[in-house]
Amino acid sequence: MKRITALIMAVALCLGIFCACGKSEEFVIGITYFKPMNYFDDANKLVGFETEFAEAVCKELGLTPKFQEINWSAKETELNAGNIDCIWNGMTITEDRKANMGISNPYMENKQVLVVKAENLAKFSTAEGLKGAKLCAEKESAGETTIIGNEADKIAAEKVFADAEVQYTAVDTMAKAIMEVKSGTSDGCVVDFVTSIGMIGEGTDFEDLVVVEAYEFAVENYGIAFRKADTDTIKKFNDAIDKLMKDGTIDAIAKKYKLEGQLIKGE
């Protein structure tokens, strides 16, 4: 009986080890929803550049990605509380964020753009036309910094907005900012250039919105944020991203979303 019991326990232990080894570790990724980064397609499947990018890197590392929606203004709190393992959502690298979180190597270039209704393009292409305009942006985003500045990073607002003394309103997401312009609640919004690629213009729900090309704002870089102490994890992700950049995997994903020209491929 003792031998049978011991054999059963040994088999159970082996099965337990096998199951544990056969299942990859879950990795929780904090995101918000906006095209072309993370959004649901017509079949209600989560797709987008960041979604497929994260899935490819996690596959390379033997991890199972779990995407979790977060409030963008509470992203650092969610990360440091352990509710998510990283922030992977078109996040602009800033000095303030580097001081408070561990950031991956940059993987994509971005800039901020002003989006208005096509019928108002001529008006808002001039400094005079911008005077007193009602603008919005996602709270604590690079768009917000472009309009009103950021004291933590010692960044002044873009001169064109400061001189025009625009009226600013913060909203929850970039998608909401674009909807505010569509509805006429705001005259314009400042969002990521990559967002404008995926959300406005021909073939979208916002065909009547355009980018005001009269203004050129500073180039920014996207990075993935981890907890400051997760140095080993950051290195593993950097190495995996570098490999997938070199073998063309990420370039192929970027082309699906018209973002190949924005990638930072390194050496």
The domain segmentation of the chain, as residue ranges, is 2-109+221-262, 111-219
For the record, the structure tokens of 218 come out as 């500073």
Decide: helix, strand or coil at residue 132. Answer: coil
Which tens digits make up the pLDDT trace of 130-172?
999 999 999 999 999 999 999 887 889 999 999 999 999 999 9
The dotted CATH code for 111-219 is 3.40.190.10
Residue 48's nearest CA partner among 57, 30, 36 is: 36
Question: Among the CATH numbers 3.40.190.10, 3.20.20.70, 3.30.420.10, 3.40.50.720, which is that of 2-109+221-262?
Answer: 3.40.190.10
Task: Give the pLDDT score at 11.
Answer: 41
- Using pLDDT thresholds of 50, 70 and 90, give the confidence band for residue 3: low
Which residues, including other chains, have CB under 8 Å from residue 180's CB and lie 6 or more apart? 136, 169, 171, 186, 189
- Using pLDDT thresholds of 50, 70 and 90, give the confidence band for residue 265: confident
- Using pLDDT thresholds of 50, 70 and 90, give the confidence band for residue 16: very low
Residue 58 has pLDDT above 90, yes or no: yes
Which residues, including other chains, have CB under 8 Å from residue 147's CB and lie 6 or more apart? 135, 137, 157, 158, 161, 166, 168, 190
